Amino acid sequence: MLDTSGTPLQTLPNAPGVGYKPQHFAAIMENPTPVEWLEIHAENYMGDGGRPIAQLRHLAERFPISVHGVGLSIGGADPLDTDHLKRLKHLCDWLNPASFSEHLAWSTHEGFYLNDLIALPYTEETVTRVADHVAQVQDVLGRKMLLENPSSYLAFAESTYSETDFLAEVVARTGCGLLLDINNVFISATNQKTGAIDYIDTFPLDHVGEFHLGGHDQDTDDAGAPLLIDSHGREVANPVWALFDYTLSKTGARPSLIEWDANVPEWPALAAEAARAATILEKAPA
Amino acid sequence: MSRQSDFAQAILNPDLPVPEGLRNPEGAPAGKRFSVYRNNVAVSLSEALEVTFPVIRKLVGDEFFKAMAGVFLRQHQPDSPVLVFYGAEMPAFLEGFQPVTHLGYLPDVARIELALCRSYHAADTPPLDPTALQTIAPDDLLKTHLHLAPSVHLIRSKWPAGSIFHANSSGGALPTEMHPEDILITRPEFDPRVTILPPGAGAFIDALFNNTPLGDALKQATITSGNFDLTETLGLLLTAGAITRISEGTK
């Protein structure tokens, strides 16, 4: 297990953050209110230089930064891509972010990257593999990571763990923290016809270092049942805000991120979502 | 085959059946639910290609580009999660993609777009102070090597690929005849720029890329074109911050 006792790390504030988009750079530098921190997708900052890196250096002087990886394929059956792990280490070493997080999902198979966060069955075999990968990431980066719950569209016949038990087991084996995506909880509960409140009630909330809030699209499956898609392309839905409120009543305020990655709006619309998160965070128990 | 191999194959090939053991909440086969992954993968990779190749997209049309991207991404999946560099195989793909082989200039336009992308993300290098060249005696100057920034790329096209690029990105005039062009990508500060080179400059810069001393590079440029203008080309390179260093000897 990673020993982080000797390294005091900068942490994210228990306040709203947003997923950073380059088109918002000027607006953020002028007046970020109520946003207090920013999250970047690690893979967009793996070039050698140019404007992306220059902007990031600039932002990091003013805001705590969360590095969120989308391509490490922690749930992959193959060994982790060591080249990619090196790129992540390089980024974390020079940026020294306040947080690093990745997903309970896979995206790379036999060297090819599919650019989606694909679900995995929850079994003894996969819990060992995921825990090994998380431990490897923490060893290479020399920091604790947060692992994010996925959105799911289907279930695996061979699963023997619930998702919350699976995540708790990975935490127990690796000492990692968790990133709880409230929108993903709502999507999965709707798609799987399970209870979102039950999920929150069984989630290892003590280990949550960050919340995600994003928008989803609505579709239907072959039988006409609701099928929610994790699109990050619109405002956070009302039931997701309600679930966030419920979760905060149990955890108190934690760093909470608005994700808006498709059909990205002008800054005021994104800041308004962050303001809505701020209102809920302010009334959460201390 | 393993679970993830089945999964990956079925995501990329919609003609394959949905892998077994994937269920909806009633325990029935997942059906359309699996298509979410198929759609996410195809759409997101296609969008990544649209970001890198906006001029190719404009040249072939939106609908055609989407269909072509669907073919491309099934032949060439990204070999890394750093998607900004996805699409390196596009020029070769376009050379062999039957519906567009009559548009011979397309592969070179794609090379320009790839070079722009690489240039945008290239390392930052302080440009050479132009006065550095003036302090060297003319005879010594011919023995020196000029080192180009990592953001600099040269494309030597049989086609007017640079003019076609400009006409479809910044609204320049379309070329009236299909002449060859040498095209230089430079990045003064942060924004890459596409320059169509004057006669001989392509051969000259090609020689610099091959670590040829300035005097020999000049000779190669002059053989290529009697109109080669060294001062003009050096001025172009220096103004664009394309030269990072000047050195003597072989290095």
| Residues A111, B81: C-beta atoms closer than 8 Å | no
CA–CA min distance A195, chain B (Å): 12
* Nearest beta carbon to residue A153 from set B33, B82, B191: B33
Mean pLDDT for the stretch of residues B148-159: 98
* Nearest beta carbon to residue B121 from set A52, A115, A154: A52
Distance CA A53, CA A57 (A): 6
The per-residue pLDDT for range A18-66, each reduced to its tens digit, is 999 999 999 999 999 999 999 999 999 999 999 999 999 999 999 999 9
pLDDT score recorded for residue B175: 86
CA–CA min distance A279, chain B (Å): 33
**How many Cβ atoms sit within 10 Å of the Cβ of residue A188?**
23
Mean pLDDT for the stretch of residues A1-24: 79
| Residues A192, B30: C-beta atoms closer than 8 Å | no
pLDDT for residue B41 is more than 50: yes
- In single-letter form, the type of residue at position B199 comes to P
pLDDT for residue A180 is more than 50: yes
pLDDT for residue B250 is more than 90: no
The per-residue pLDDT for range A76-128, each reduced to its tens digit, is 999 999 999 999 999 999 999 999 999 999 999 999 999 999 999 999 999 99
pLDDT score recorded for residue A231: 95
* Residues of chain B with C-beta less than 8 angstroms from the C-beta of A83: 80
| Annotated domain spans of chain A | 16-282
pLDDT score recorded for residue A9: 53
pLDDT for residue B1 is more than 90: no
Q: Per-residue confidence at A8, pLDDT binned at 50, 70, 90?
A: very low
| Residues A222, B36: C-beta atoms closer than 8 Å | no
Mean pLDDT for the stretch of residues A244-266: 97
Q: Per-residue confidence at A1, pLDDT binned at 50, 70, 90?
A: low
The per-residue pLDDT for range B187-205, each reduced to its tens digit, is 999 999 999 999 999 999 9
Backbone angles phi, psi at A90, to 5 degrees: -60, -45
Beta bridge partners of B153: B185
pLDDT score recorded for residue B174: 87
| Residues B81, A43: C-beta atoms closer than 8 Å | yes
The per-residue pLDDT for range B65-121, each reduced to its tens digit, is 999 999 999 999 999 999 999 999 999 999 999 999 999 999 999 999 999 999 999
pLDDT for residue A5 is more than 90: no
Kindly indicate whether the domain formed by A16-282 is annotated with CATH number 3.20.20.150: yes
pLDDT above 70 covers a percentage of chain A that reads: 97
| Residues A114, B8: C-beta atoms closer than 8 Å | yes
Distance CA B125, CA B119 (A): 12
3-state SS, residue B15: coil
* Nearest beta carbon to residue A222 from set B3, B21, B31: B31
pLDDT for residue B16 is more than 60: yes
Mean pLDDT for the stretch of residues B135-157: 94
* Whether A102 contacts A137, CB under 8 Å: yes
* Whether A101 contacts A148, CB under 8 Å: yes
pLDDT score recorded for residue B206: 98
Instruction: Check the CA dihedral A69-A73-A75-A79 and report its sign.
Output: negative
The per-residue pLDDT for range A192-226, each reduced to its tens digit, is 999 999 999 999 999 999 999 999 999 999 999 99
Q: Per-residue confidence at A7, pLDDT binned at 50, 70, 90?
A: very low
Beta bridge partners of A40: A67
pLDDT for residue A6 is more than 60: no
The pLDDT mean for chain A works out to: 96
Q: Per-residue confidence at A4, pLDDT binned at 50, 70, 90?
A: low
Strand pairing report for B181-186 and B243-247: unpaired
Name the least confident of A9-18, A36-45, B34-43. A9-18
pLDDT for residue B171 is more than 70: yes
If we measure between CA atoms, which residue out of A83, A49, A28, B49 comes closest to residue B57? B49
